[in-house]
Structure 1
Amino acid sequence: MVANARKRLISFLTIGGPMENIQPRDLRFSRRELMRGAVAGIGATVAAGLLTGCSPASEQRPTSQSGGITPGSLPKRYSQEEMNRRWAAVRAAMREEKFDGLLVSSRPDGEADIGWLTATGAPYAVMALDGKLLTVGGSGDNLHDGVEAREAPDDKFSEGINAAIKELGLTRGRIGVGYLADIVRLPEGGFNFTTLDRVKRGNPQARFDSAADLLLMVKLPRSAEEIAVLEKATAVSELGLQALMRTAKPGAIHREVWLAVYNAMVSASGEFPTRLSLRSGQEGNTGPRPLEEVMQAGSICNQELSATVLGYGSQVNQSFLIGGPAPADWLSAAQYCIDIFNKMVDWIKPGKPIREGMDYYKAEVEKRGPGYWGVLFHSGGGNDGPRWGPGRPEAANAVLQEGMVFTIKPRIPIKDVTAPAAQFGDAVVVTATGARRLGQRKLEILSLG
């Protein structure tokens, strides 16, 4: 179910500084200092040396470990006003696309469609353009006004869907199907073939077409309530990052570090993380499960941490050095990455084509040298949004709109280091005049352990 325990608040913070401000000093955190670390203060001022034997520099001491975030402190479900807003938005999009009804299913990657439309974990739902919204096969408990539950006899969902289509007067209508085809990162879709085949045969005069694009685009501008939830998810993600920085050190076993991060995020949110992947000496997206490998001194630790609140995830990224000595280009690459993050935040304005932003990013990276052209803007929310980057086709013609939320996560190669690249990322929301960070921590260059 999507309507379960969740969380929090967060603010805007300035990041980093120009490369010429880097001072030649070293920073090492003790375990006790990091145990006290707050989301608002992971880290301290960093240094250009990071050589074995250098004396520690002054530190900014974090103040608290959890920030008071617990499952009990978080919202339990979306408001009735928020659900009414979503239904009005999706019906307006249905009218524009000439859909008489909508058929959506649950998904293994976060229940993005069903959760967003019904705030339930029901297997299926059918919505009429000018009628009811019916869940099929799910519980009838704790539903918002405007949602009604219908049974699926013996879990034969096609029979329940056919009955709902008939009840809503859609047997001759054009019905948009979610998760059918042309899904982001799943071009052939994932809607159950047998279920849809039986629904089509049961409604031979109805027309069924993909509504994937409709369901993708209608969710991108977030409401104030959704943005607040994404701020809470960002805060829990930062707690995971804090746990990572407390436990990562030369000789640490990846499994133990991974589980510490997992426990920190689940204990705070009460929900499974949307994404938890970390590695030292490799890209952060290559460690989505506990491994038996040992973290090595002088390696860079990267991660993709996305906690979940009310079904919404928000990713954070922050490369840091484990022990020493540092790769020769580490400080320069890391600071350049922070500077580009700031430039991308400054670039954001409603109405700008996202493709233009990808071109700008690519040009800025290439001023330093060859770059990596993966994901730059990683959509926050139900794990179904586009992941924009130079040359990527996902919603490539989209334009920035107020309320969009995504993580900006540039990557800068570290010279003479095969992997990983330097990467610093945080979620931002597009405002009427620019962009605002959702995370609290300061993006800094760190050496731990």
Structure 2
Amino acid sequence: MTLLELTVQGRADRLRNVMLERELDGFVVVDPPSVRWFTGFTGSYGLAVISAEAVVLATDGRYATQAPAQLEAAGSDASVVIASDLIASGADVLTGAARVALEGDVISWNQQRQWASALADSELVAVSGLLRELRSVKDPAELARIEAAAALADAALAATEALRMPGTTERQLGLALDDAMRAAGASGPAYETIVASGPNAALPHARPSDRAFETGDLLIVDVGALVDGYRSDMTRSFVIGGPDAANDVACKILPLVTEAQAAAVAAVAPGVEAKAVDDACRSIITEAGLGDAFRHGTGHGVGLDIHELPSIRKDNAAILQAGQVLTVEPGVYLPGVGGVRVEDLVVVTDSGCRPLTLSPKLSL
């Protein structure tokens, strides 16, 4: 597949603007997705140091060839330092820095102590969430990768339709979905594919088992693809045997969740509080007497990580911004019986939102 060229140019400057406001002289980035976002480096071992003057990627000898090539391809002006002690190398860049930020929500206690020793003359400041906030608004190249991943998941769901029948096991369908995404060009699944049938569908994050589908089962399929590091996320719910096999429970909760999800998608727009999107669907489910069966937030951002900002939950007053990509996924779960979840991935536009996942939803 052909995708828009991705460049990291300008990203360090966005962070530097915030650093200036907070009187920070340096920022140490250790979370691998954020290291990649700033530099283009995809290796499993490395850190980035950002100061007013420079961006430096420190990694080890395994990436001596890969790192410079990836940074050049991503349009990064970062320098690459190959070292065995990454913290010492990073600290060298920050010599004389008065205040240095560490990722408070990522860095370990042990790492903090090592940085405190290496930067004994600097004040270390824990900063949480800032890099995730910067990453939450996608540029066109990022959006193109997420949209391509969504299309591959849509295609895989369509290609495996014949397996949604009595006798197929959850594991068989899950593997078929993963294989279909890879065959179509995905790097792999965006996360462990969820296939949950019958009573297992009452578990929001059930893992595929050897349980065979039975006629009348509610079936939840939660599937996403990975394209050039970026992820998609989608859930559809079905009745094994088709609409004619739906029992009274399915006939109640599947249309209810579908209606609630549509209301929440309609609420997504720039300037809207995240909790307003949650309320748009939660109120409908609650009014139907099933509020306690909706046991999770309504959604989350998606990008290099499968769970990013913004978090769409009832206590989050964060304001949605154009360019953010997020899920809208209400669900109802009845222990011992089954469950339904309907999820779309949408991008916030200037006037509302646009769905990226396009698979049809079951209508009863």
Match of 1:373 in 2: 295
- The equivalent residue for 1:336 is 256
Report the counterpart of residue 90 of structure 2 in structure 1: 164
Offset of residue 244 of structure 1: 4.1
Equivalent of 1:355 in 275, 292, 304: 275
The corresponding residue for 1:327 is: 247
Aligned to 2:266: 346
Aligned to 2:6: 79
Looking at structure 2, the residues matched to 269 and 210 of structure 1 have their Cα atoms a distance apart, in angstroms, of 40
Please state whether the residue corresponding to 1:340 is helix, strand or coil. Answer: helix
Q: Give the deviation of 1:74 after TM superposition.
A: 4.1
Whole-angstrom distance in 1 between the partners of 2:24 and 2:338: 46
Residues 66-118 of structure 1, C-alpha deviation per residue, up to 9 Å, x if partnerless? xxxxxxx143x8533xx113223222232233322221224xxxx32122122
Change (3 A) 1:105 1:272: farther
Q: 1:256 to 1:358 in 2, by over 3 A?
A: closer
Aligned-residue CA RMSD (Å): 2.5
Aligned to 2:173: 257
Instruction: State whether structure 2 residue 57 is matched by structure 1 residue 129.
Output: no
Q: Name the counterpart of 1:388.
A: 311
Q: Does the 8 A contact of 1:320 with 1:445 survive in 2?
A: no
**Aligned mates of 1:287, 1:148 — CA distance in 2:** 44
SS of aligned partner of 2:319: coil
- Deviations along 1:173-194, whole A, 9 cap, x unmatched? 322223x43xxxxxxx4x3554
Render the CA deviation track for 1:373-430: whole Å, top value 9, x for unaligned: 31212211122414735446xxx2310111111111121457xx74432221111111
- Report the count of equivalent residues: 346
* 1:286 CA displacement: 3.5
* Higher-strand-fraction structure: 2
Q: TM-score if structure 1 supplies the norm length?
A: 0.71
2:24 is aligned, of 68, 86, 99, to 99
Q: Which residue in the other structure is 1:279 paired with?
A: 196
Relative to 1, partners in 2 of residues 1:268 and 1:103: Cα closer, same or farther, differing over 3 Å? farther
After superposition, the C-alpha distances for 1:100-148 in whole angstroms (9 at most, x for unaligned) are 2221224xxxx32122122212423233332221111143323133122
- SS of the aligned residue for 1:103 comes to strand
Rounded to whole Å, the distance in 2 between the matches of 1:102 and 1:241 is 42
1:222-301 maps to which residues of 2 (within 5 A)? 222-275=138-191, 276-281=193-198, 282-283=200-201, 285-288=204-207, 290-301=208-219
Q: Would the aligned equivalents of 2:47 and 2:86 in 1 still touch at CA under 8 Å?
A: no
CA distance in 2, matches of 1:207, 1:269: 47
Distance change >3 Å, CA 405–CA 211, structure 1 → 2: same
Change (3 A) 1:160 1:348: closer
Q: Give the Å deviation of 1:296.
A: 2.0
Partners of 1:193 and 1:366 lie apart in 2 by 42
Partner of 2:34: 113
Matches of 1:313 and 1:397 in 2, distance apart? 25
Contact 1:316 1:425 in 2 (8 A): yes
Which SS does the other structure have where 1:230 is aligned?
A: helix
Contact 1:313 1:382 in 2 (8 A): yes
Unaligned runs of 5+ in 2: none
Name the CA shift for 1:418/1:78 in 2 (closer, same or farther; >3 Å): farther
DSSP-derived class of the 2:342 partner: strand
User: What is the aligned-residue identity percentage?
Assistant: 20
Tell me the distance in 2 between the aligned counterparts of 1:361 and 1:98.
Answer: 41
Q: Deviations over 1:197-245 (max 9, x none)?
A: 3332122012223333111211112222222221111112223322443
TM-score normalised over the length of structure 2: 0.86
C-alpha displacement of 1:332:
3.5
What is the CA–CA distance in structure 2 between the aligned matches of 1:225 and 1:200, rounded to whole Å?
37
